[in-house]
Structure 1
Amino acid sequence: MSEINVTPLVDVMLVLLIIFMVTAPLLVAGVPIDLPESRAGALDQQAKPVQIAMDAGGRITIDDLAVADAELPRALANIAAQPQPPEGRRIYLRADRTLDYGRVMRVMGELNRAGLNRVALVSVGPEQRP
């Protein structure tokens, strides 16, 4: 036989292509935050929520875009002015566990003032006691 059988090579390459196509969207960059634990279950969600994150330094990001404290009210007003899904706009607030409670409440107050009242606080699984 003078020909090389390429069928197994094509099969392996197609499997690798499928694996990379499935895993590539999962590799997204994010803001590192140490979330508090909770026993609450996950929420069922149809529309993509707005993600607001506060890291340990108190820096605020909205959907992975950094926002200055002074610009937060204007950014939230822009979000509130966008067309909303029928069930209302869902906001996910993630704050580092080491942050001062007052800083988190200031952001929640700005959300309330902008008319964004469907706020969900994000946490990780239940805390494990030693």
Structure 2
Amino acid sequence: MMSVVRKRRKPVAEINVVPYIDVMLVLLIIFMVTAPLISQGVKVDLPKASAEPLDPESEPPIVASVDQQGRYFLSTHPEPNTPLEVVDLAVMVAAELRISPERPVVVKGDGAVSYNQVIQLMVLLQKAGVSQVGLMTDSSLAETAGAGR
């Protein structure tokens, strides 16, 4: 009799990745569907409040202003109505703070100025060495806004 020789099959050493691809496609579809539903920003109703005025006995604050055209002004400049370059403003504020480090610094932004320009002014003041910056407001506007409620 002849002996039958069986060939042994070698085990396949491949990983079946089809189930993983299926899972990844499902996750991709979920993210594609939910991404447009996520809000890009948060709706915020900013509070309308009037702040207490500064003490008239204290040293007057350093007021850094930005107008509608994006020009910068400084209240301590010899000519406060003269626009200043960014570098000059930073140097003058730093010099004022060396003289009196506790002197308050406030930003006065025109109502028509973009938020970005006010933030740029605040960053400029921070680089000049100002640790705390206040925002100047018009108290008459806050009172009329509060009366309309």
* Map of 2:49 onto structure 1: 39
1:60 aligns with 2:72: yes
- Is the 8 Å Cα contact of residues 51 and 92 (structure 1) preserved in structure 2? yes
Q: Percent identity?
A: 18
Moved over 6 A (4+): none
Q: Structure 2: where are the runs of 5+ without partners? A: 1-46
Matches within 5 A, 1:97-116: 97-116=111-130
TM-score by length of structure 1 reads 0.59
CA-to-aligned-CA distance 1:58-91 (integer Å, 9 cap, x gap): 111101243112422222222222233xxx1201
AA aligned opposite 2:89: L
Relative CO higher for 1 or 2, CA cutoff 8 Å, sep ≥ 6? 1
Is the 8 Å Cα contact of residues 38 and 124 (structure 1) preserved in structure 2?
no
State the TM-score, normalizing by the size of structure 2.
0.52
Give the gaps of 5 or more residues in structure 1: 1-36
Amino acid at match of 1:39: A
Choose 1 or 2 for highest CA Rg.
2
Question: SS where residue 51 of structure 1 aligns?
Answer: strand
